[in-house]
Amino acid sequence: MRYRLVFIAGLAVGYVLGTKAGRERYEQLRKSARQVSQNPAVRNTAESAAQQGRQFAGKAYHVVSEKVGDRMPDSVAQRVRSLRERNGSGSDDWGTSNT
C-alpha cells in the first residue's frame, strides 16, 4: 500500500510540473530530440550498434544451434523453417533485414 501511495504522489507531482511547463516546453524538448536523432554522429553510432547486434546475434544463433542440435522438437523446427521460407532471402536467420 505504501508503494502505491508513493506512486500516486509521484504521478500527481509529475502532472503538476508537466502542466506548469506547458506546451511550449514540450515542443522545445521534441525539437531537441529531433535534432539529436538527425545528427550524423548519432546515426552512425546507432547503425554501428545495430550491426554489432546482428553479428552477435548470428554468433549466438550458431552456438545455440550447435548445442541444441537434434533435441529441438519437430514442431519448433518446422515453424522456424516456415518463417525462413516466408521471409525470403532478403533477411537473416533472425527474420530481420540486413540494412
Q: Provide the whole-model pTM.
A: 0.45
- Least confident span in 8-12, 49-53, 54-58, 76-80: 76-80
* CB neighbours of residue 80 within 10 Å: 13
* Residue 91 parent element (H or E): none
C-alpha to C-alpha distance for 37 and 45, rounded to whole angstroms? 11
Residue given cell 548445442 in the structure block: 67
Condensed to tens digits (0 to 9), the pLDDT of residues 13-59 reads 888 777 777 778 778 878 998 999 899 999 999 999 999 988 888 88
